[in-house]
Chains A and B, each alone.
Chain A
Amino acid sequence: MANKARGDILLDVKGLKKYFPIQRGILRRTVGYVKAVDDVSFFVREGETLGLVGESGCGKTTAARTIIRLYEPTAGEVHFKTNRFSADGRPKMVNLLELDREQMKLVRQEIAMIFQDPVGSLNPRMSVFDIVAEPLVIHGKGTGPETEETVIQLLERVGLRPEHMRRYPHEFSGGQRQRIGIARALALRPRLVFCDEPVSALDVSIQAQTLNLLQDLQADFNLAYVFVAHDLSVVQHISDRVAVMYVGKVVEMADAEELYLNPLHPYTEALLSAVPKPDPLYKSERILMQGDVADPSNPPPGCYFHPRCQYAGDICSKQTPEFRELKPDHWVACHRADELTLKGV
């Protein structure tokens, strides 16, 4: 947002790759790789929301998990601003991929995650109190009577009644369970939260409540969000900037409004044209993409999108386009971005 002061860069991902080996035969020989995340670069500023959109299987979730090293990355750099390792207490950028286990554990206190499935991500045998207090216990902060105080505050903050903290997840509705997950994510006062499809399993009215809550919490705690979702209208609503992924690569990144109104990548244009608009009098001209999403274990040469792109030229099937800043703060990976005029919404 133009009227919001730009914070410093909190997370800077450069050339991140995660290849999963495909193993066959008795000897489990590696016969190929699924390039789930293939050279992804983006950054997140303090206190802002970066939306990460793309079709299923494009590597959004894998990228998020690789950044916090739930998966060990194949290549790349992930710089994160933290003050955990500096003697003078001043925050500085560290490369997360160079940290050892103990150091990573320290950094993880500042990075939290909210998951898509509000049922599957909460242990059914743990009470709400135990669930929310668990991060505190793991990091050695959950001893003594103040833990209960912290949990009560967290539950109140996300709009749950503290007297319900001895109950179990099945006694709550989907929206409430998502709030439990949010309270847990906030327990250690993180500065960066990965939200992986946090509202896609919720009903419309509950979705609105949850989005509002996330925005309020962001303002209160100066949180930065990486908001992974496939619903483009939700992403636009919550995000300051949006990155679009296609088959393991970020193909475009810009301010939310700029990206939606003036897309530079043909894939973004096609995605936007496919979003159903809640207006019966709106007549859309839909761009139908031919074929299926490319196979990440055997992607086409050149630009991965060229077989489905209506603007593809000769160069597109030969060279991989560079991810470049074509306009200030508007990045795109397309050979023809500067000659095309694409339609937004």
Chain B
Amino acid sequence: MSEPLVEVKDLKVEFAVRDGIVHAVDGVSFTVYRGRTLGVIGESGCGKSVTAKAILHMVPKPGKITGGEIIYYRRVRNDGAGQTTEPVNIIQLDPDGEEIRKIRGGEIAMIFQEPMSSLTPVYTAGSHIGEAVTLHRLIPVRKIGDQMVETIQAHRGVSKQEAREIAIEMLRRVGIPKPQQRVDSYPHQLSGGQRQRVMIAIALSCEPAMLIADEPTTALDVSIEAQILDIMRELQETTEMAIMFITHNLGVIAEMADEVCVMYMGKEVEQASTVEIFYQPRHPYTQALLKSIPRVGRKSRERLASITGMVPDPFHLPPGCVFHPRCPDYMPGKCDHLMPSWTQVGEGHWVRCLLYEEV
């Protein structure tokens, strides 16, 4: 097994809103390893994006991390032989402090799904520009090249000229045509797909130890998506970058992930290697998700197996296992009373379901 980079242990995030408390993330644990990809799947509102933001210690208000630890094994350079790592508990850092800022963007980078609608600059005047660019979005009134150069300089300690060359090279690698010219264009001169590619170029140009990709290709066409996935893999091979890939596209997960974590209503319901998840899914929710996607290839005019009902209201969660009202394997008297616990069912294969527990 390779070296762990980030260990999330029993993470809890709550949002206190007018109608009550939402347990957006409710006791999630996983480990991200260097050079490997963890895929996170689940439907909207299952807590996957909040988990990602917690790793960067930037849970949006009124959210609060209320429990657990996030240990980041930071590499420290030694004068002597090799490198050692030093554990940092991200949750205990000051969310506005110097230390977390160095980590955000430079060591752990994040790409979001582009909000198609707006170009509003969300960075505040005081915030570090390099960080704003890496973490939020492009600033509309400035050339993309300048924004990239600043970010690269802020995190990599290279000269301005070198940073510009890195920027052009990264733009070329993400498939922007004529990168020497495009580096001097403004964000509004690019198409939505190109802007997203620029964001990816910026995130990758700092050679982060970990990349958190939250639905990075959902808004893009398949041909562009394929290019971006290839770039991420290439970079992973050369730099041992760890990737946490959040998506609801199971095809992308199958291609990218080494391990998969399936989430439902703030809880992990299953975790295993990608091959296991696709070939031997254990949790009824995982099984249902896999059956509900149409596949290319041989044609069958069969109906898709759909999961009945809807995601429950977060203020009125069902008792027992939260999935039981939609579950095809629901066991009355059991699933609606008992909370399933995290059970090992195979080598590195964990599931939260009463079918696999003796009670």
A-to-B contact residues, CB < 8 Å? 1, 55-57, 173, 175, 203-209, 211-212, 215, 230, 232-234, 236-238, 256-257, 260-261, 270-282, 284, 286, 288-289, 291-292, 345
Which of B43, B250, B295, B299 is close to A257, meaning CB atoms less than 8 Å apart? B299
Residue of B with least CB distance to A260: B296
**Quick one: which of B195-238 are within 8 Å of A by CB?**
221-223, 225-227, 229-230
Binds A, one of B152-160, B285-293, B348-356: B285-293
Q: Given A257-B298, A278-B278, A208 and B222 touching (CB < 8 A)?
A: no
Question: Is A286 touching B289 in the complex (CB atoms < 8 A)?
Answer: no
Q: Which residues of B contact A209 (CB under 8 A)?
A: 306-307
Residue of B with least CB distance to A175: B310
Q: Given A207-B292, A275-B251, A212 and B304 touching (CB < 8 A)?
A: yes
Interface presence of B58 (CB below 8 A):
no
A260-B299, A279-B254, A280-B275 known; 11 other A-B pairs, CB under 8 Å?
A: A205-B288, A212-B306, A261-B298, A270-B223, A273-B226, A276-B249, A277-B295, A278-B290, A279-B278, A281-B279, A292-B175
- How many angstroms between the C-alpha atoms of A244 and B114 in the bound complex? 26
Of B252, B275, B278, B301, chain A has the most CB atoms within 10 Å of the CB of B301
Question: Closest approach, in angstroms, between the C-beta of B136 and any C-beta of chain A?
Answer: 23
Interface presence of B294 (CB below 8 A):
yes
Question: Closest approach, in angstroms, between the C-beta of A164 and any C-beta of chain B?
Answer: 13
Question: Is B304 touching A236 in the complex (CB atoms < 8 A)?
Answer: no
Residue of B with least CB distance to A212: B303
Q: Given A278-B293, A286-B230, A230 and B177 touching (CB < 8 A)?
A: no
Of A175, A257, A280, chain B has the most CB atoms within 10 Å of the CB of A280
Question: Is A204 touching B301 in the complex (CB atoms < 8 A)?
Answer: no
Number of A-B contacts (CB under 8 A): 126
Which of A204, A274, A275, A292 is close to B43, meaning CB atoms less than 8 Å apart? A204
Which of A1, A273, A282, A286 is close to B254, meaning CB atoms less than 8 Å apart? A282
Question: Is A233 touching B292 in the complex (CB atoms < 8 A)?
Answer: no
Q: Given A56-B221, A204-B248, A205-B307, A232 and B226 touching (CB < 8 A)?
A: no
Interface presence of B274 (CB below 8 A):
yes
Which of B251, B274, B296 is close to A272, meaning CB atoms less than 8 Å apart? B296
Question: Closest approach, in angstroms, between the C-beta of B114 and any C-beta of chain A?
Answer: 13
Question: Is B298 touching A278 in the complex (CB atoms < 8 A)?
Answer: no
Question: Is A55 touching B255 in the complex (CB atoms < 8 A)?
Answer: no
For chain B, give the interface size range. 35 or more
Which of B221, B223, B278, B289 is close to A280, meaning CB atoms less than 8 Å apart? B278
Counting from the closest, the 5 A-B pairs by CB-CB distance are: A276-B251, A237-B294, A208-B306, A208-B292, A274-B226
Q: Which residues of B contact A272 (CB under 8 A)?
A: 296
- 13 A-B contacts (beta carbon < 8 Å): A55-B221, A173-B310, A237-B295, A261-B297, A261-B298, A276-B225, A278-B251, A278-B253, A278-B295, A279-B254, A280-B275, A288-B230, A292-B177
- How many angstroms between the C-alpha atoms of A15 and B297 in the bound complex? 31
Which of B221, B274, B294 is close to A234, meaning CB atoms less than 8 Å apart? B294
- How many angstroms between the C-alpha atoms of A215 and B301 in the bound complex? 10
Q: Which residues of B contact A256 (CB under 8 A)?
A: 299
